Chains A and B, each alone.
Chain A
Amino acid sequence: MNKLLLVALSLLLLTNPAFSQELKSKFGEVNQEELTLTAYQKDPEAAALVLFDKGESYFFDTERGYDIRFTRTRRIKIFDKAGIPFSEVAIPFYVDGYGRTERVVSIEAYTYNLENGALRKTALDPNTVFEEKINESWRVKKFVFPSVKEGSVIEYKYVLETPFHFNLPDWTFQDKIPTLYSQYTVKMIPFYEYAFLAQGISRFHYHDTRLGDAERTFGQVSKVYGNNFGSGFEFKDMIHTYVMKDVPAFKDESFITSSKDYLMKIDFQLSKFHSPAGGTNEVVTTWPELNKSLLKNDHFGKYLRKSKRQAEKIIEAEMNLTGKSSAEKAQMVIEYVKSSFRWNGFNSKYTSKKPKELVEQKKGNAAEINLFMAAMLEAAGVSARPVILSTRDHGKIKVDYPFDHFFNYVVVLVEGEQFAFLADGTEKLLAFNRIPPRCINERGLIVAEGEPQWVNLINNVGSLDSKMIDLKINPEKLLADAMVTIQATEFEAFDYKNSYHNDTIALKEGLLSKGFNKLGRIKTLGFNENERPYVISLEGEVPLEEISNKIIVSPFLQFPIKENPFTQESRSYPIDFIYPRTEKLRSTIHVPQGYKAFSIPANFKMDNGLAQLIVNYTQNGGQVIADASYTFRKAVYTAEEYTRIQTCFEMMVKKLNEQIVLQAVE
């Protein structure tokens, strides 16, 4: 058994073993208390409450062996109108496209209402269960509970059968509404062994492992005086039960990777297969094993090898690499891939089409494009190894747990004598040696034979957003003629490019709100040159304020942040900005003839180690020059550093929005 699993289990054994509260409520029977409940004491504002949520996974016999039957029973109390949407239920299931499919074999649902003191139970009409086709692999069974109103208790039970043993259905104990009681029972058979991982749970309220009562058989069993002479054998299920009580509602915060990283849940992955015929197959219990299996996989390693021929053909026919250094070759190949293939928006570490189809269709998922790119690099004589990772919205991987399904993406580690960098072929607007922000999530695993090697995905290259502003004040019209040059590098450039796609109209629409009445000429430079700064230059008209015969000028227009996004007093999750960044603002204000600067804000400087903010004003003849910059040195800050980051934002809001006052000379 996995060492880590043992540790986890022994920890759990320390929890109270005397727990014995069986749920009074059975599916199909509600009690008066549940019906008359008006609020949840521990969270009186909750719009609804999960009264219980019980899941069970069980291996049942099929002609081919075993499939998993997952049964879920869930009961919810609706307190007010805002809780009514919880009566719309969606049950997703997977179809692998090769004939194997998960099946929702039954759905049963009831609504309970108290009507004039009497219980009224309304069953779901099976004709109102619909099936939506999300895409080629995912379907959803969906239904709405009938007769739901404030005060209703709703409950449903469904059975989903799956032939996919790799991922035993996982279990989330937490929801957007609080949960009174959540229980997951897994009935293991001796042939499959799973490693499991609990997240966000310091201890279960109850955990138990015991042998099932029922005797099960595998193969042919024939007994004489209790001794089996058949070729098969008998066994009992090993039953694991996990319980959490009074789970609070999950509250989202901004600047986190994904709520998936913080929800209380439990995850399983097949680790060993003990063959009834004897012998044990380690499925994936170590990183080297995971790598090996990926390299063997049709949709990973085999695809990579099959790509080779296509890649060679392309290089021969379409690229001239002779005489190029390996660094140049690497860049050319990556740029070729970026310009030739389009990403279909799907994150994946597995391919779902053949290399030949990718080349024909010019479009593919992340794995199809990046593994093909790795093959092309190798064909060009550049070392390229796949690196699997988990995208930010997919949650963090746990380095201690070699779980295959933690990973959902693959990029390429490109190496030469003088260089080593990560590359991704899905984003045309990023430099060849950068991976997109969605991929920057702690670390990735190099897929290669031998000892596991990890790659730090965090990019410490700072991104810069610089704005040069030139304001010619026209006191008669109360306007300033503004020229603004924005220069952005790295991810800040990517952000501008991605938001506006170099489209004049979109740029104008996006930038107008930064303090302009109207925008005139707008030009850009470097949209297609990702290694250089992206430059947006614009001319516009800025309205000025007149107060008490004085002219008020916002030196940085409306570019600076106006409100502190961090309003909470404290924070429980890290603050993740993805990459370190600097913004520089420099404004030159031409004071018109007959006017002088009446007041200029004070200079300011703060540096708390984590971040820095500087604002300086200087006067130079007929000009006032305002210079400001701030830097967030780290990509990710801990929850303990929250207050300092919050303060920094507070000062940014204050100091970058201060104004200059001009007055007519008397």
Chain B
Amino acid sequence: MAAHQKLPGQIVVFLFLLVWPFLAFGQYENEVLEYRTKITIENRKRIEEVTCLIQINRPSGDWIAEIEIPFQEDNKVEILEASVLNLKNEVVRELKKKEIKTRSNISRESFFEDHYVKSFFLGGNAYPYRIRYSYKVEVDNFLDVTRWLPILFTDVPVRKASLELNLPFDYKVNIRASDKLKYAAKREVGYQVHRWEMDGLEPVRPEPFSPPLQELLPTVTVVPESFRYGPEGSTASWASFGHWQAQMNEGLDELPPSEKAVVDQLIAGETDKREVIKILYHYMQDHTRYINVTIDEGGLKPYPASYVCEKKYGDCKALTIYMKALLKYAGIPAYYTIIHAGDNPVRIDTSLPAQQFNHVILSIPLEGDTVWLENTAGHLPYNYLGTFTQNRYALLVNGTVSKLVKTPALQAEDVEENNFYTFKLEPDGKGEVTIVKKMEGELFESFRYFQRHLQEEQLGQEIKDRLALRNYRLLNWHFNQKNRDDTQLELTLNLALEEQFRNIGGMKILKIPPIREFKTGKAAARVNYPVNRSDSIVYQLPFARQYKVEVPQDVFIETAAGSFSVSYSLQKEQLLVVRKFQLYRGDYSVEESASLHSFLDQVNQSSGKSVIVLNAL
């Protein structure tokens, strides 16, 4: 059908040698020329007006002209302007009302949310073109006046950004603003006006080990001293803020009679408090699952315990309230503790009592220590926080004596990963290997999750994805956990191997399974929890005597960021490689980060070079 076009047969000219026109690299595909936000508080309503002027330079930058304005069911949204402009800022086309579409906006972790977006597209005729749009969102219930960043997208430069705040004189707020922003304040009729500006902000890209971008960018956070979100609340102190959450939770931690009967039965005769907690926690883990449905004030107000009793599912708030209710009925007071979850969390500004959290756990102070319960993870042990919630501030909600607490930090001994490889190889590279992995920490958490939620085939894939081996067949695997509350998981793998030797130039080369390759960079870095891994690799080479076996030199690196060592020993027909890798918890400024990155570079290099050579005698 189509006219045939011959393949260019030979491409022999090296194009580098030719002079050719330079492409217009360097110019951004799009840029935000102006990003203006004006927030006015009026009759305790928050009215936010946003205006954006954006220039699109190339077709690949068109995506930014696809405007999306998120809102919630009870917000009032109005699109004030949406037009395509030429480079003189003259309007070329105005958006028509019917071009604005509305659809649900449900986050991936959620089953349902009453969140929506209004969307429309502003496409220009020729490049470059500009677009301008502005909209207004009115919100009745809110906890923050703003959490403003002078950017629209992290990968798009902003030429000029501003935030203007109009606050009635009697409206008290707490403000935190970055020094990098220009600031001016003035009084106008009826309002105190605050204004922040930023000129020229280049795109930021996440780098390996970088802290959350929110921490690296200039921000303005404004929190009202008192607010109405459900009950009246105050951010005067963490205690008062916690008290508000306690009021939100009031009366939710009551069990229906049928559930009380279950609890009675479960803990009958048990007097040890920790045992009671454990029994009830296991019961909760085994009978519920995580499903997030957020409607109305659902973002902050939990469903009652009865909701979980009936449905056997809930989000973190509902499941935590339910767990709290189980304990309460058993006579054990437990505290709803709100926290910012994630393995690389945004740090809490402890000086600013406010809603800085995204998750909730339960804390139960007992004599001597505290028991922590994560209620959304059926696969984790009792009293285990893990990489998701370790080592950070959280707000323990306890009426008027609510307070910030810090969760325990994962230590090197909590995150051990020990791998034992036993290879048996033949001269043709065929053979077998048995791998025993003893896992704690992140690996433990992942595999416990896979074990519980994946089908065999997918589970096998996850195992394979973490094997740094080639030309193998995974024959079988076996998990062993001493008991469900043990924080170590043992995984035994049996693999059939082929072509384990690279044969080049008469040498047989055997590559030691590398530890994972680390990406490194130059930016500020944060290691949130330590890594503590050791590998013991045994090669049984019954034919070794027929060869001259060369092993690399032992490695020993010890730095402030971590340590790495490899030692090789050859005994008759057996070669033993012992490797240890430790990465310490740490915070590195841009200036300091070279020490971390250079350490990891050394590890990468050394690990990549780790080969054994068999030379025929």
Contacts and interface: CB of A to CB of B under 8 A. Distances in A.
Contact of A132 (B3, B8, B104, B550): B104
A134 B123 contact: no
B101 interface: yes
Given A148-B289, A537-B16, A548 B613 contact: yes
A360 interface: yes
Contact of B3 (A130, A433, A470, A598): A433
Interface string B532-552: 000000000000000000100
Contact of B25 (A362, A419, A464, A504): A504
Contacts of B104: 132-134
Nearest to A345: B66
A582 B2 contact: no
B311 A142 contact: no
B311 A146 contact: yes
Contact of B455 (A82, A420, A422): A82
A23 interface: no
A421 B1 contact: yes
B547 to A, nearest CB: 12
Contacts of B611: 545, 547
A134 B550 contact: no
Interface string B472-510: 000000000000000000000000000000101111010
B322 to A, nearest CB: 13
Contacts of A461: 2, 4-5
Interface in A115-129: 122, 125, 128
Contacts of A460: 4
Contacts of B148: none
B11 A487 contact: yes
B455 A45 contact: yes
B101 A547 contact: no
Contacts of B59: 342, 428
Contacts of B584: none
Interface in A577-603: 582, 584, 598-599, 601
B93 A360 contact: yes
A130 B114 CA distance: 9
Residue of B2, B311, B550 most packed against chain A (CB within 10 A): B2
A475 interface: no
A149 B283 CA distance: 12
Contact of B121 (A363, A466, A533, A658): A363
A666 to B, nearest CB: 15
Contact of B311 (A45, A147, A537): A147
Interface in A530-544: 533, 535, 537, 539, 543
A340 interface: yes
A63 interface: no
Nearest to B458: A82
B16 A149 contact: no
Interface residues of A, number: 79
A421 B611 CA distance: 55
Contacts of A525: 15, 20-21, 23
B5 A455 contact: no
A433 B453 contact: no
Main secondary structure on chain B at its contact with chain A?
mixed
A596 to B, nearest CB: 12
Contact of A362 (B21, B103, B125): B125
Contacts of B550: 548
Interface in B232-287: 286-287
Nearest to A459: B2
A661 to B, nearest CB: 4
Contacts of B312: 146-149
A661 B505 contact: yes
A142 B111 contact: yes
A456 interface: yes
A88 interface: yes
A460 B7 CA distance: 11
Contacts of B615: 548
B311 A548 contact: no
Contacts of B124: 362
A125 B306 CA distance: 13
Contacts of B509: 547
Interface in A590-643: 598-599, 601
B505 A132 contact: no
B453 A125 contact: no
A115 to B, nearest CB: 10
A420 B454 CA distance: 52
A344 interface: yes
24 contacts: A45-B457, A142-B111, A146-B313, A149-B312, A361-B99, A362-B124, A363-B121, A419-B3, A461-B4, A464-B7, A468-B11, A483-B16, A485-B11, A489-B7, A489-B8, A501-B29, A524-B23, A533-B11, A545-B609, A547-B613, A548-B550, A584-B11, A659-B502, A661-B504
Interface of A: 45, 47, 81-82, 84, 88, 122, 125, 128, 130, 132-136, 142, 144, 146-149, 340, 342, 344, 360-363, 419-422, 428, 433-434, 455-456, 459-462, 464, 466, 468, 470, 483, 485, 487, 489-490, 501-505, 523-525, 527, 533, 535, 537, 539, 543, 545-548, 550, 552, 582, 584, 598-599, 601, 658-659, 661, 663
Given A524-B23, A533-B11, 17 more contacts: A45-B455, A47-B455, A81-B452, A84-B289, A125-B311, A142-B112, A149-B286, A342-B121, A422-B2, A464-B7, A485-B11, A487-B15, A489-B7, A545-B609, A547-B507, A659-B502, A661-B507
The list of the 3 closest CB pairs from A to B, nearest first, reads A599-B505, A362-B123, A661-B505
